[in-house]
Amino acid sequence: MTRKRVIVFLGSESDVEFASPINRLLDRFGIENELRLASAHKDSDRLAEMIKEYERSGDVIVYITVAGMSNALSGFVDFKTRHPVVACPHLEGHFGLVDLYSSLRMPSGVAPLVVLNPESAALAAAKIISETDPEVADRIKRFQGEMQERNREADERLRQS
């Protein structure tokens, strides 16, 4: 049976806390996910081997890449795979907005999607998985319904105050 999963690549250990909402939401949707750490700059050979191993699995995979500063990770992973890649750059500090350009400007033939919010990156990956998994699609619909209900309740509280 083909597994459906999301592989989350982190560029460094400092990205772990930023990426934690990704795993929480994927777990909520019942999507198998795995967190890995490999820098495209400092550990590219090992990263390439990891990707090759996932590619050989025959699984349905969506990659999420989390890296700050000069985000080579997203482009590197995207070019090495046929699967979708969602880049979720960890933008922080004084140069955060400048660093964003390394996620947005990719060379031809390299096309990671860019989503800035970790939970939204997980949702994007879940929606991709849901194209071939009706149970995940139903969980997403319920999640969206819960969000709508919270908004309705907040509106009602606001109207009563």
**CATH number, residue 101:** 3.40.50.1970
| Burial classification of residue 120, based on how many CB atoms lie within 10 Å of its CB (0-12 exposed, 13-18 middle, 19 or more buried) | middle
**Residue 96: predicted pLDDT:** 66
* pLDDT tens series, the chain, 161 aa: 689 999 999 999 999 999 999 999 999 999 999 999 999 999 999 999 999 999 999 999 999 999 988 889 999 999 999 999 999 998 777 776 777 777 888 889 999 999 999 999 999 999 999 999 999 999 999 999 999 999 999 999 999 98
**Residue 116: predicted pLDDT:** 95
Asked if residue 160 is part of any domain, the answer here is no
153: alpha, beta or left? (left if phi > 0; alpha if psi -120 to 50): alpha
Alpha-helical regions (H) of 34-133 = 44-56, 72-79, 96-104, 118-130
Domain that holds residue 72: 4-129
Closest to 130 measured CA to CA, from 120, 138, 142, 121: 138
Q: What is the pLDDT of residues 54-90, one digit of tens each?
A: 999 999 999 999 998 888 999 999 999 999 999 999 8
**Residue 79: predicted pLDDT:** 96
Asked if residue 150 is part of any domain, the answer here is no
Asked if residue 118 is part of any domain, the answer here is yes
Asked if residue 31 is part of any domain, the answer here is yes
**Residue 43: predicted pLDDT:** 92
Asked if residue 35 is part of any domain, the answer here is yes
Asked if residue 95 is part of any domain, the answer here is yes
Asked if residue 145 is part of any domain, the answer here is no
**Residue 99: predicted pLDDT:** 74
When divided into structural domains, the chain yields a total of: 1
| Burial classification of residue 127, based on how many CB atoms lie within 10 Å of its CB (0-12 exposed, 13-18 middle, 19 or more buried) | middle
Asked if residue 135 is part of any domain, the answer here is no
User: How is residue 73 written in tokens?
Assistant: 């990770």
pTM of model > 0.85? yes
CA torsion through residues 20, 22, 27, 33, sign = negative
